Amino acid sequence: MNTLTVEHPMIPKPYRVQSLRQETLDTFTVELSSINGTSELPFNPGQFNMLYMVGIGEIPISISGNPDEPRTLVHTTRSVGTVTKAMRKLRRGDVIGVRGPFGTNWPVDLVQGSDVVFVAGGIGLAPLRPAMYRVLSHREKFGKVVLLYGTRSPADILYRKELEHWRARFDLEVYVTVDRALRPWRGNVGVVTNLISKSPFDPMSAVAMVCGPEVMMRFTVLELQKRGLVNSSIYLSMERNMKCGIGLCGHCQFGPEFVCRDGPVFSYDRVKDLLAKWEI
């Protein structure tokens, strides 16, 4: 036999699709479980898995489920290209490959006692959702909790039911805005960064967790700084091409950082110099 005989960290484990739900026109959520249905895959909010579609490819996707329910792996994915379009056609019972969980996590456990501000752009809500779950399941340990979420249009809003449910809570502030909207929309219109100046958190104690396109994160940081947040209280989740997830393929390098291993969640302090440069 001419193939590797040793267990290789690049060999995925099979997981079975339990359900696939269309969230929006181009975004869907898959729920996976181990083949025997009972194994757990514990993870921390902010971590990601490498999802493998046989014969097609493997991609990094954040875990968007509840960390307290590690038997079910939840991934919310936007179809944009080869692998994600193939994933969208999965059906209950299908088997895909999973490697992970990889990467750093949102500092939820470190920031108890603080106000927490989540700022999400588009699909960026998915990697933040496990942190929301964590905070909400220990709600009494945190100060004010604010979610600011922006999408392109009302039709692109993810987890709509859940957002409505969260918005009804008295211990949570949820603000949603869309870039553009037609008449039935009564909510905010404009970019998510516009929401920051008015939102009710104490900049002296607040910690911000930000996930979205890189430009959105850059502008979000500026607004948060204007409100008085210090760099070490701002956390971002970075995105880079990834082929291994384990610091060996070199693809995800961002200056000295391997985003797969040293990130994807970074304190802004750590990456601010890199973000100030182009094409790094």
Residues that bind ligand FES in the complex, under the rule CB under 6 A: 242-245, 247-252, 258, 260
Rounded CA-CA distance 163/150 in Å is 12
Q: Contacts with another protein in 191-250 (CB under 8 A)? A: 239-241, 243-244, 246-250
State the minimum distance, in angstroms, from the CB of residue 38 to another protein: 19
Report the C-alpha gap between 272 and 178 in whole angstroms: 27
Name which of 147 and 229 has its Cβ closer to ligand FAD.
147
Residues found near ligand FAD in the complex (CB under 6 A):
48, 57, 59-62, 76-78, 80-84, 123, 126-127, 239-242, 264
- Shortest distance in whole angstroms from residue 236 CB to ligand FES: 17
The answer to whether residues 43 and 63 touch, using CB atoms and an 8 Å cutoff, is yes
Q: Is 57 in the site for another protein (CB under 8 A)?
A: yes
CB of 111 to ligand FAD, least distance (A): 21
Q: Going along 86-172, which residue ranges are E strands?
A: 95-102, 116-121, 145-151
The closest of 237, 217, 10 to 103, measured between CA atoms, is 237
Nearer to ligand FAD, 63 or 111 (CB): 63
**Residue closer to another protein (CB basis): 26 or 162:** 26
DSSP string, 100-115: EEES----GGG-TTS-
Q: For residues 166 and 148, give the distance between their C-alpha atoms in angstroms, rounded to a whole number.
A: 12
Query: Of 26-34, 49-57, 109-117, 139-147, which part binds another protein (CB under 8 A)?
Result: 49-57
